[in-house]
Structure 1
């Protein structure tokens, strides 16, 4: 038997089952698809697919449904991810256009993904430890106090007000602030923050002893910003979409909802991706290490600036998922988000 024909039959079973949610029989396959063979031949092909563990009979009927392994073979044999339509691309652009800050970008992205795919959308906030410093601003706010503003390439903005112990309203004070601002940007701008933090600490010795408390206060504030933001976050939307697929879950959606509440679990799953932001990851059914998610599939991809992935996004839904369309939507949204983050004018 031709392996290509057998894969064609598997593809047809997956497509029909995703569309109808009903077990697929040989007669239906012959009627709906141009297989070029008889129903008897298709039955033989289905028997071999079942022996290989790619399909199974959910109950005593002539119909078959894909297994997790069957979905895996189907996804791995996709020749390419089909592009979104012009209307879908326009909708993404319009929905994400005009986001005012990182929180707005993440909020719009997760709602857009849930709407496009009708699944549960998951968006990870960019990790500060994997991001790059765009600029550090120092703004005197009266007397000895200065606002330290850290602007990251992902759009994140962190602010700290510190007491330098020195009057910065004088001519000498203003000149010192200007010098500190220049030197910290010389060292930090354009490099990963975890590297910049170490380099900033070396600047303290450059300054006269009487000025060191000012630079020390600024550097400490920047280090604190890094420590406080190491705990990464995810945002979800579309959990109600699970109710539409209630029949796809053999027990209930309860274990899935419980697993989704464990953000540490989601962060771990999203973190197990290729560093290449173009590679779409598909984790199917029992490939998920979390027991509560083994009746679901997670389609995810990284996003970032340039060639660096700083976070991930994706959707989670039943294994009976339209994989080509979902993969296309996830990848397209990630590309748009990366473009927004990479454009300084958008932050």
Structure 2
């Protein structure tokens, strides 16, 4: 039987903006998940830890069965990634994790909860001694795979909670602007998280002519999603009211934003990049085309004149030779 995995994105608590438990809509699943109440807190929307290389910490996940029959779920962890829609997602179960998905282990790989009851699933976060410092993001997942008789496939439904892990050591946040280009209609560039911290940024784009004249500022640009270390995000900023001024310079400026362990956000030094575009006014373009046409016509006329002079000289030489041969013949 072919196996299809369906992920209930609406049910996955990865945003971390609300302390409410993760709960699927429309009755697709019959359980909820939330963080356990312990020394880390009693109303957390997600899990967050700071652990040094070689260290371990323990926590728990509360799973509540809202159905009328016992429920057996698989529990596992997976690394996170940012989707093309800017949302945090988790690697599929058949994909290989390298951070949170490997270092987080549940006490049991499965849990059975009686109808109407809740159970705590303990788990441990164990960071290898050789782990690279920086931020790692993933999640702990509860999963139920069941056959779908209509579609004749197995469907996996998942509920989980985000885990953000900061491994102790030097935190080196860094953003780079790459592959920047500018056209008459848009400025495009890629934001690349080249550091080891989760980062977002404030953005600004300006276009100027020579000597900073004819400055045009793009309207407010939405912040990119929080990018995990190594991730990239492409930004396209529409260009409006561009004043043609021969050589235009587009400048993109990022103000990196990093959140510390207490939840406080710090703005770092700006990062900028430029790209250039030749934009001639229509009158200048017409004059330039006329000038180019005049130069081309002049070159062609000069070539034609040289060919005519050459032909005349060859005819003169030919006639002179003929006259000389005729005179020699008469003398003899």
TM-score (norm 1): 0.24
**Structure of higher CA gyration radius:** 2
Please identify which structure carries the higher helix content.
Answer: 1
Please identify which structure carries the higher strand content.
Answer: 2
